[in-house]
Structure 1
């Protein structure tokens, strides 16, 4: 089977500076007031965490992490995740697109009143596009690691569900209908394919969707 040519490439720089709005995935240890230990993962802005760790401290680290990590939605609670899945796409000589992103898995919450301290065990930096927020939309799991290690056969912009966010589909396998849509896309690159691609993922096509939103 011949590989489908890359039709549309979003030009994303593979590395950015700390003040460009990138993120760290932090593996943390939470110590409770009852001296229990919880290991989890959170995401936070690299600029703020780097400044804090470089001794520009204005508050206890526990309070800083509770205040700055992403995803906590309820006052008085701290959200962390039990695991992560890494999605990495290396740029090639003729393809400047590249990703190194993490999807947080299995959401957990704990009352902030139960947290005595928080410490960092490990930190990993996500590679992002300037000040845009990137997110892996596709629900990944460990069973995907085999095909995620392959070369994608197509990368296209598929639009989005609102005016602030766009989505890129990185296609690793495709049925005939997906292949035909990719060919048609070259003639009509403005067509919104988001719903179509999501339906095809549900049907078993091996596709990763990365969403990028402007601030």
Structure 2
């Protein structure tokens, strides 16, 4: 079963350098330029995390959700003395909103108090922590509710045009007996014979388009 969230840090760094339709780097349009100060009052961790989640929504090579996951959000929280710079993390699975729990500022972005770092690096750290928390919570939820056994799952990788690329893909997914390469509409893989999660990571790292079919499960 695929993880709830797949965050690819390398693709995130590359995406930030790309130009959007207005001719600006995504770094600026996402509000992630400049520096972040750990425990800074004007630039807290939950704001960076919220901005980062909004920025990568709909960028599948950076932030991909499993078919049964429809949203990840962080809600900024406050204590008796005001903002605590953390947030409440939620995720929706099969239409059910799960409250994962509170993330302290240090859970999202860690470092020494007063330390400065680029905001995009702080955002990358926050997204990594959020993805880990979400995947752990969703895995526990699936185990409790019995989401069922995967019986059909397929993956199409587009853009592989050379045998060298094809052999590199085989190596990445652990194929020991080489298959026959034919340049065409795409490379079709199935979950019975191949590690699809490894194939997705390889495709993203090398800039190939990935198309996943719907997953079919037997629910016990």
TM-score, structure 2 as length reference: 0.28
Flag the structure with higher helix content.
2
TM-score, structure 1 as length reference: 0.29
The answer to which structure, 1 or 2, has the higher relative contact order (CA under 8 A, 6+ apart) is: 1
